Amino acid sequence: MKWVKQTVGYWCDDTKTGKCTGSGICAAVLDTGISVHPDLQGRIVGFRDFVNGSGDIYDDSGHGTHVAGILAGNGRASEGKYAGMAPEAELLIAKVLDKNGDGDVDKVVRGIEWILSVKEQFRVRIVNISVGTQPELACEQKRRLLNAVEQLWDDGLVVVVSAGNYGPGPGTVAVPGNSRKVITAGVPDMPAGRAGRRKRLNYSGRGPTEECVIKPDVFAPGTGIISCNGRYSLPGEHIYVMKSGTSMATPVVSGAAACLLSKYPDMTNVEVKLKLRESCVKYPGTEAGWGLVNVERLLAV
């Protein structure tokens, strides 16, 4: 996360002093669940399991915990080294994916409906959806998911979704990342030679969409990200783990939005999107959208 924060210009007066690190902001995460990791303890305000119907807080995959750690981990188990973007934010968790990270539209839609029903109770401002449909999914199911996600936006929530990992060809952005309303996060291309790579690393979904919308909107680091390990309590598991994908870039952007809202709590979701667009910086591999998220510019007056 140190490299991630350096890349996105995280360190500025507002974050160094802790004034704008997500305090008072609740982010909902639709994913594989969450483990009660030391970096997340005390800030999980609600949990609902749409896969197995369990009343216990858990993550049998680890994906959701990793995503939540990037967004809001406080780095307690690493003396701050692996703290997330908004370490004071609260988390509302909907488990909509199984232990393999798979799911169906019905479960995701039910999770969205639940978030809509409790958003006032938990003061939800942001919804992170590191979930994307497979290309072969039926069109009517894609439309159903897209409509549900856009309802979150229409109800005033900042919705950040992943571009998917089926890129980089044209039209490869995953649903619901093709929505013209929500904020779609992708991962910059990594040229050959960087980090010792022999080949160009290039997997992030791309537009244009069927409606000719350029996607992703914003880019953030997503390759080789170290965050909370949801399986840390099992033998042989470390408390942190590395994962890659647009799923990891999405909470970087959600966390940046949480920092912004903790400074300007009256901002609407449209204003957050516009501020994000205005503050992005052009960076190699981000030519398809606004550019790379930059927290210092985002939080500037």
- Cβ(201)–Cβ(164) below 8 Å: no
For the annotated catalytic residues, the residue numbers are 31, 63, 247
Three-state helix/strand/coil letters over the chain: CHHHHHHCCCCCHHHHCCCCCCCCCEEEEEECECCCCCCCCCCEEEEEECCCCCCCCCECCCHHHHHHHHHHCCCHHHCCCCCCCCCCCEEEEEECCCCCCCCCHHHHHHHHHHHHHHHHHHCEEEEEECCCCCCCCCHHHHHHHHHHHHHHHHCCCEEEEECCCCCCCCCCCCCCCCCCCCEEEECCCECCCHHHCCCCECCCCCCCCCCCCCCCCEECCCCCEEEECCCCCCCCCCCEEEECCHHHHHHHHHHHHHHHHHHCCCCCHHHHHHHHHHHCECCCCCCCCCEECCHHHHHCC
Please, which residues have CB within 8 angstroms of residue 288's CB and are 6 or more apart in sequence? 186, 206, 207, 214, 215, 216
Residue 231 token pair:
């399986």
Q: In the 8-state DSSP scheme, what is residue 242?
A: E
Question: Could you check whether the bond before residue 221 is cis, i.e. omega within 30 degrees of 0?
Answer: no
